[in-house]
Structure 1
Amino acid sequence: MFPSLYYLVPVLGGYAVTSYYLLKNPHVLHKKKRLPFYCRHISHRGGAGERIENTLEAFDNAVANQTHLLELDCQLTKDGQVVVSHDQNLNRQTGHDVNIRDVTYWELPLYKNTLEVTFFPGHVSSGSDQRMPLLEEVFQRYPDMPINVEIKEDNNELIKKVSDLVRRYHRTNMTIWASMSDRIMKKCQAENPDMPIMFTPRRGLILLLLYYTGLLPFVPLRESVVEAYMPSLINRTYFPHNRLMSNPLLVSLQDKLFMQKGLFQHLKERGIQVYLWVLNQDSDYQRALDYGVTGIMTDFPSKLKAFLQRYEEEQRTSGGTQHDVTGDGVQRNRH
């Protein structure tokens, strides 16, 4: 009755088998990306739960707790200085309703004595360092530390100056371009195409579409890093501004679609590292590792360090094989 099915069924079956084989063996079609760093422990804004976010004191604390990657944000001042700050408007961070672009570096107000942790409401951080550092200071202070630099504004001068600093301090292979905007990311790539880049949210949706249609194993990917929130955090420790994003049914659907071991494993086999943010509880750390992610981004570097030490010890005593990432950021296999 439907003679075309005699042809269609074998074709679809062959496609499914080929896709599955290549999903498990991506090296057949793709050369594995080889970043010079492998990150398990990532400090969000330098560890915003333990010290004032994005300060040198926060970064020092993260490094002391054996972080493998510092995550930070950049803005440009009126006098053209690249400063490390998450917000453009400083009311939340300093109590002063001013924009960074409207003041010179020396006119920047100091941080408040305490700040609420954005991704862990009800918890506050404090510290003795209340100054916003220059990105150049961070590069000088941590010459061998991989750093994830998020460009917060569509500003050509900012992008060029960040790229110039990366080149000046010979950090091209160990500094990640990060942005939530496709437009900004394209400009970052054009300015310095040799730096590794993350998936933007739109590219992340395309990644999921490719995975569920079976096309992912056939498609080359320019990105080296996935940085995504773990959906189960929504309405618990992460409260998105978009009300649609916080719908319980949509959150559950996002979690089922994204938290896929097969997807994460395929990406890792292609040399693409998978980081989940912002995880601040042991149960979330454990869930992320159970699903096989590469790295965990946290506001609490010392808490994550302690968890990973316990986790690695349990893996050793249970006789399993694991990837042990030591404080120097080098991946080693343990049996």
Structure 2
Amino acid sequence: MVIEMILAAFLGCYVVSSLILFKFPMLLHKKKDVKFVCRHISHRGGAGENYENTISAFRHAVEVGTDMLELDCQLTLDGQVVVSHDSILDVRTESKGAISEYKYEELPLIREQVPIDFMPGTTFSGKSDDRRFPLLEETFQLFPNLPINIDIKTNNNELISKVSNLVKKYNREHITVWGNMKDEVTQKCYKENPNMCLLFSAQRVCLMLLQLYTGLLPFMPLKETHLEVFMPVQMMRIYSKNFGEKWWYSVIAKIANTLLIRRSLFEHLSKRGIQTYLWVMNSEEDFRSAFEAGATGVMTDYPTKLRAFLDSNPQYTQDHKLS
């Protein structure tokens, strides 16, 4: 009986403490000092409005008024850090093989028509002559004060080191976010340069959710500064044809959405100085859903469309401020 009373008292204290710290995390944790807040993030510079990951795409996004550029990095044969999502050339050029097998000057131009990954069946075909792969350094030079989100696409120590060195060279540790879905890559990024803003890996997202639903999250330190996640029901809607008509896929997506897309979670992270971005959102319905869920910002292939939405709905730039 005494043991049961002790256990009940301990459990009660644990639950109450967890609830209090979930609501007021700064009682235990120091708020992260992130130097920027982004509502409008251009995915690959805006893959629906320009050739993705090109200087013309980045320029257009900046002209529209984006808060952040999202881009991807690879390493060429001669050790140049090039901006490209794919490690192989087959998908978006007429050449074959890996980028790592070519010197930078040998890289081909992007095809005139390229697929938009998050708009299945849709391609971009533009009039721009800028279809080359830019260097990351060139991007830093052209946009020195703009926050940039870097996805390290390959588990390559040299790539991670060179990206870090370029960030240091251009004095942009305070406005650069990096990482990858793979935890091994993200851990290497953090070890290489802990002063840069860091993304949650997929593994760390799963761990965070486990901690959330066991009440441990309010007690746990978090080294990451940015949570980038997709909305499962939205992804199910986009790629429904790939899954066929099996009803349980929809059920799984709805359950995952309920567990992950929680305003209370995003608000807790916000109070700890961690920003949440939802990707890749390309319609007004998606934009509204993301901001209503409490996301700090939205990542889109259509920067003009998102800018028009934010201009027409100023409440999403006023009410969703970091605590």
Q: Report the TM-score when normalising by structure 1.
A: 0.90
Cα distance in 1 for partners of 2:8, 2:231 equals 37
1:231 and 2:232 correspond: yes
Aligned pairs for 1:99-110 (under 5 A) are 99-110=98-109
**Are 1:180 and 2:177 an aligned pair?**
no
Cα deviation, residue 123, structure 1: 2.5
Contact 1:41–1:295, Cα closer than 8 Å, also in 2: yes
Runs of 5+ in structure 1 lacking a partner? 325-330
How far off is 1:311 after superposition? 1.0
- Does the C-alpha gap of structure 1 residues 133 and 321 become closer, same or farther in structure 2, counting only changes over 3 Å? closer
Residue pairs, 1:61-140, within 5 angstroms = 61-127=60-126, 128=128, 129-140=130-141
**CA–CA distance in structure 1, aligned partners of residues 150 and 29 of structure 2:** 27
Q: Which amino acid aligns with 1:322?
A: D
State the Cα distance separating 1:263 from its structure 2 match. 0.5
> What SS does structure 1 have at the residue aligned with 2:238?
coil
Corresponding residue number in structure 2 for 1:262: 264
Do structure 1's residue 251 and structure 2's residue 250 form an aligned pair? no
Aligned position for 2:33: 34
Following superposition, the deviation at residue 157 of structure 1 comes to 1.2
**Secondary structure at the counterpart of residue 313 of structure 2:** helix
Higher mean C-alpha displacement, 116-125 vs 234-243? 234-243
Q: In the alignment, what sits opposite 1:141?
A: 142
Change (3 A) 1:24 1:233: same
Alignment-derived partner of residue 290 in structure 2: 288
Which string of whole-angstrom CA distances, capped at 9 and with x for unpartnered residues, describes residues 98-152 of structure 1?
2101011111110011212100113222331111100010000000000011111
Are the equivalent residues in 1 in contact too, given 2:281–2:298 (CA < 8 A)?
yes
Q: Specify the alignment match of 2:278 in structure 1.
A: 276
1:242 Cα offset (Å):
9.7
Aligned equivalents of 2:304, 2:159: Cα separation in 1:
32
Structure 2 gaps of 5+ residues are: none
SS in 1 for 2:186: helix
Moved over 6 A (4+): 239-244
Aligned residues: percent identity? 48
Q: Is residue 294–residue 320 contact of structure 2 (8 Å, CA) maintained in 1?
A: no
The 2-side partners of 1:250 and 1:21 are apart by 31
Specify the alignment match of 1:54 in structure 2. 53
Deviation at 1:261, TM superposition (A): 1.0
The whole-number CA distance in structure 1 between the counterparts of 2:320 and 2:216 is: 29
Q: Aligned pair in 2 of structure 1 residues 42, 260: CA closer, same or farther (>3 Å)?
A: same
Alpha-carbon contact 2:233-2:250 (below 8 Å) kept: no
Contact 2:69 2:149 in 1 (8 A): yes
Go from structure 1 to structure 2 and tell me whether the alpha carbon gap of 1:241 and 1:186 turns closer, same or farther (over 3 Å shift).
Answer: farther
Instruction: Give me the whole-angstrom Cα distance separating, in 2, the residues matched to 1:114 and 1:239.
Output: 24
Q: Do the aligned partners of 1:50 and 1:126 also contact (CA within 8 Å) in 2?
A: no
Deviations 1:141-184 (A, max 9, x none): 00000001111111111111111111110011111112112111
Instruction: Decide whether the 8 Å contact of 1:91 with 1:98 is kept in 2.
Output: yes
CA RMSD of aligned residues (A): 2.2
Partners of 1:109 and 1:321 lie apart in 2 by 44
Is the aligned partner of 1:322 residue 2:319? yes
User: Are 2:139 and 1:166 aligned?
Assistant: no
Deviation of the 1:185 alpha carbon? 1.5
Give the whole-Å Cα distance in 1 for the aligned partners of 2:144 and 2:241.
Answer: 35
C-alpha deviations, 1:202-252, integer Å up to 9, x for none? 0000100111111111111000000111111223225799999x9222211
Amino acid at match of 2:293: Y
Residue of structure 1 equivalent to 2:195: 194
SS of the aligned residue for 1:122 comes to coil
TM-score w.r.t. length of structure 2:
0.93
Equivalent position SS for 1:190 = helix
- Count of equivalent residues: 319
Q: What are the Cα deviations for residues 237-295 of structure 1, in whole angstroms up to 9, with x where unaligned? A: 25799999x92222111101001111110000000000010000111110111111101
CA contact (8 A) 1:234 1:240 kept: no
